[in-house]
Amino acid sequence: MKRLIDQFRRDGGGNVAIIVALLILPMLVLAGGATDLARYEAHRAQLQDGVDRAVLAAASLRQTVPVETTVQDYLKSLAFIEDVDLDYDYTVSLNVRTIKVKASYDMTAGFLPLIGIHTLPMVVAATAQEKRSNVEISLMLDVSGSMRFREPASAPTRISLLRPAAKTFVDTILTTENQPTTTISIVPYAGSVNIGSTIFDGIGIARRHNHSSCMEFATTDYGVGLIPFNQRGQVPHFTQNHATTNEAGLDWGWCPSEATAISVMSNNPTVLKNKIDTMRMADGTGSAIAMNWGMMLLEPALRPYIAQAAAAGMVPNQFANRPAPFNDPNTLKVIVLMTDGEITYQRRPNQYDYPRNPEGDRGNYTWYDAGVANNHLQAVCTRAKNNGVLVFTIGFQLNDANQAQRDMKTKLRNCASSASHYYDVAGLDIAGAFNSIATAIQKVKLTQ
């Protein structure tokens, strides 16, 4: 008996089978579990990729399909989509779409139930946002008498070169996508700026004549923000250099005609391009006056007046709350000042009905010189830049042989946000300047 027991103890036959029997379940769990985990990762990657693409599509400001529909359309190709739970969190407004989606899915395990794990839960999430900056632009265009000149004599007039360049600028800025959030105010100017009879009378300026509608700034009104309009007077209707006007497109007067009045906060390319086509030349170059109006059209304090204009149908209702605060992170404010010459002195007849000399060089006049006007310009430029307004300037056909025009280049360069924001151009190059500015504005808007 003892011998049999010892023999049994020494006999190793069948041990491997026993060991295999004991290990088969753990081995099956390990191999099958690896398969389940590989399936899990493949499903998770597919779900994450689908959710990522879905929220990007849903966040597009051009998207017109409901968020839920967009997301589901992007995920419908998943074989397991019927078992996916989707949670949505989104805000949609005119300028911003923020889409957050969380997708949950419990994947049924194939082998892990052997150890009591029946499902492998996964949760993926994605967030996408597309934001469109509000843009407020003041575009000041010189329509002084010198814009009728040609260089050389066989070339188009300066104003004929300006018109298509400015219209292309409008089209580049006011794309269909940008129109809901972008406004352009056009400020044509000669010796002064005609703000239009409706605005002139609406803001309470005392009218002395009906020939034109230019407001007289006090010498302390530059670079100080909004001023009390109802305490200012009217520019007399007079001329200085063009007593007789037989040239097409050139009007008599220091204050431009009603056809050349400003356009306020429009997003309608057709309206703005019609203004550019119909504006007429007049006497003088009041760049500081134009700059002051352009800046005031960006001043937050102007908002009550814009609200009134919107109520009267002069400004689209969606812009009734403009101008935005200077520190608004979602608003880009831009000034573009174009001129073809140095600033002229500002002369005025003391009496509105005083008989003017044909060329205005004699008689009862008051005036301040170009040096004072240049100081006014720099004061407005400084205020604009100090308040985060992006300032572009264009010197068109400025002649280096002329000391005053050479100095004007320096003043325009100093006015601009930087030297690279100043454009010194001639002839057809004015189109390139406006195109470059439009492109720069778009780039700044995208990076805000």
pLDDT in tens, 405-422: 999 999 999 999 999 999
Q: How many residues does the chain have?
A: 448
- Residue 177 is classified by DSSP as T
What is d(CA 34, CA 280) in angstroms, rounded to the nearest whole number? 80
What is the spatial distance between Cα 150 and Cα 154, in angstroms, rounded to a whole number? 7
Strand partners, 216: 233
Segments making up each domain of the chain, as ranges? 16-131, 134-447
**Count of helix runs (H) and strand runs (E) in the chain:** 11, 13
Q: For residue 66, which phi and psi values (nearest 5 degrees)?
A: -55, 150
* Predicted confidence (pLDDT) per residue in 101-160, tens digit: 999 999 988 867 777 788 889 999 999 887 768 999 999 999 999 999 999 889 999 999
For residue 139, give the 3-state DSSP assignment: strand
Edge-to-edge strand list for the sheet holding 182-189: 263-266, 182-189, 134-142, 331-339, 390-396, 422-425
Predicted confidence (pLDDT) per residue in 324-373, tens digit = 999 888 899 999 999 999 998 887 877 655 445 444 444 556 677 888 99
Environment class of 304 (CB within 10 Å of its CB; exposed 0-12, middle 13-18, buried 19+): exposed
pLDDT tens, position by position, 173-190: 999 988 999 999 999 999
Q: What is the pTM of this model?
A: 0.74
> Tell me, which fold does domain 134-447 have in CATH?
Rossmann fold (3.40.50)
Rounded to whole angstroms, how far apart are CA atoms 442 and 448? Answer: 10
Q: Provide mean pLDDT across the span 185-207.
A: 95
Maximum distance among all alpha carbons in the chain? 151
Per the CB < 8 A criterion, the answer to whether 224 and 387 are in contact is no
The pLDDT of residue 34 is 76
Asked if residues 96 and 131 have their Cβ atoms less than 8 Å apart, the reply is yes
